[in-house]
Structure 1
């Protein structure tokens, strides 16, 4: 898609040129001139169109990346992202349910699904001994084809018998749905802790972000109506693609 602006669009007043270029690109994205998946003009193209330095052009794209509007990766250019996903903290739902509610298409890539010995954190959350193996599932979470998070889920041994989900099962259906259909294990509630973190090299490669990029980490313990633990999950979300919302009431 070609740009229609030229140097006359830029004010030679106090506002920095990079800020003005970022503002115009942002407005074009908001108007739908650049859609999710489209590539923005390169630094060289911005330099040519606006008559600014490559440093100025780069600064304008850096700002849009910081705002979560684009993703910049070597060899791919500056790609417009879908709107940031917002998750209300008072609602417990699966990733699939959450995405569908927002009109986004969820998908999964299961990296592993097998029994493993739990960490102390997982054992405490599920109420089991550290020598008791639990079923662990590692999945890449996507919304409209874009990587949005990594999920590490542990299922209580009290829930799963010999019938465990395959990677194919988990690639096409919500884990919560599979547990309810195959074991009658319906998640009724849970507790979730949220903290900030930065991407390790492994997470950065999976989520297509830079090493050290900001992440939101959610640690969730889900339970049945009687309080029995069903799942303990640790989710790492891209901070530029995901946010949490808290509804507050003054008492």
Structure 2
């Protein structure tokens, strides 16, 4: 777009109008991230002050969110998780184009909680990972896994979704999962890890997954920031 530089409409408003139109058209989907200030400066051949005025206008209009050190995003951009598709939490982020990563909080062999003893026996593996999008914490995943998963390589476990880890070690596909969704206040430890205020009510996804032979593959809980996440049904993506 070429700006009309002798136009009575200020250049920053022209830039804001162009970006507004692109937001409406879905140009910045799926992540919702806009170009950097430097990229916008180069595109329109204007100063940083002009770009910042344009972004401030869009911010006032409620169209964007400016996150310090992370960039500018379409306001209200949410991760969508298709609960009728058999897919790991991390995979659901990656397939939408988000810059998603996982950070291990804990990986250890533990005594199986009494509630899960019938699923895993006396010993199991606890895997806790922080899920981040564009370096922003979005959820904490806590998975109880079979005992044979306790010697997982930590680097590998930070790169691979849960289902891929299980298939690699067990040599068997995950073929079914039971999912429940709720909301509740959680411990200060969890709210601290995902950077929300204490007593914040989080979305909680509970999932129990099974191998082809009917054995339990995992019992997981995901504690999710609700303003950044949406569960959907009826998507036409085939079950995998």
Q: Which TM class, normalised by the smaller chain length?
A: 0.5 to 0.7
What corresponds to 1:135 in structure 2?
125
- The 4+ residue runs of structure 1 with deviation greater than 6 A are none
- Match of 2:112, SS? coil
Kindly indicate whether the alpha-carbon contact (under 8 Å) linking 2:33 and 2:71 is maintained by their aligned counterparts in 1.
Answer: no
Show CA shifts across 1:95-141 (max 9, x none): 232122111132110011001123233335x253xxx1210001101
What corresponds to 1:103 in structure 2?
97
- Residues in 2 aligned to 1:152 and 1:37: alpha-carbon distance in whole angstroms: 34
Using the TM superposition, give the Cα deviation of residue 201 of structure 1 relative to its aligned residue in structure 2, in angstroms.
Answer: 2.4
CA 1:164–1:81 in structure 2 vs 1: closer, same or farther (change >3 Å)? Answer: farther
- Residues in 2 aligned to 1:231 and 1:148: alpha-carbon distance in whole angstroms: 21
Kindly indicate whether the alpha-carbon contact (under 8 Å) linking 1:199 and 1:215 is maintained by their aligned counterparts in 2.
Answer: yes
Residue 122 of structure 1 pairs with residue 116 of structure 2 = yes
What corresponds to 1:183 in structure 2?
170
The 10-residue stretch of structure 1 (173-182 or 217-226) with the greater mean CA deviation from structure 2? 173-182
- Residues in 1 aligned to 2:167 and 2:85: alpha-carbon distance in whole angstroms: 18
Using the TM superposition, give the Cα deviation of residue 231 of structure 1 relative to its aligned residue in structure 2, in angstroms.
Answer: 0.5
- Residues in 1 aligned to 2:196 and 2:23: alpha-carbon distance in whole angstroms: 23
Alignment of 1:83-94 (within 5 A): 83-94=77-88
- Residues in 1 aligned to 2:113 and 2:65: alpha-carbon distance in whole angstroms: 36
- Residues in 2 aligned to 1:199 and 1:209: alpha-carbon distance in whole angstroms: 11
Using the TM superposition, give the Cα deviation of residue 173 of structure 1 relative to its aligned residue in structure 2, in angstroms.
Answer: 1.8
CA 1:36–1:164 in structure 2 vs 1: closer, same or farther (change >3 Å)? Answer: farther
What corresponds to 1:215 in structure 2?
202
What corresponds to 1:8 in structure 2?
none
Using the TM superposition, give the Cα deviation of residue 165 of structure 1 relative to its aligned residue in structure 2, in angstroms.
Answer: 0.7
Kindly indicate whether the alpha-carbon contact (under 8 Å) linking 2:93 and 2:100 is maintained by their aligned counterparts in 1.
Answer: yes
Residue 169 of structure 1 pairs with residue 134 of structure 2 = no
2:224 to 237, 248, 251: 237
CA 1:77–1:102 in structure 2 vs 1: closer, same or farther (change >3 Å)? Answer: closer
- Match of 1:154, SS? strand
Show CA shifts across 1:157-192 (max 9, x none): 3xx17x721322211222221221233132111101
The two structures, once aligned, show a CA RMSD in angstroms of: 3.8
CA 1:142–1:28 in structure 2 vs 1: closer, same or farther (change >3 Å)? Answer: farther
The 10-residue stretch of structure 1 (177-186 or 225-234) with the greater mean CA deviation from structure 2? 177-186
CA 1:165–1:151 in structure 2 vs 1: closer, same or farther (change >3 Å)? Answer: same
Residue 156 of structure 1 pairs with residue 166 of structure 2 = no
- Residues in 1 aligned to 2:206 and 2:110: alpha-carbon distance in whole angstroms: 19
Using the TM superposition, give the Cα deviation of residue 227 of structure 1 relative to its aligned residue in structure 2, in angstroms.
Answer: 1.6
TM-score by structure 1 length?
0.64
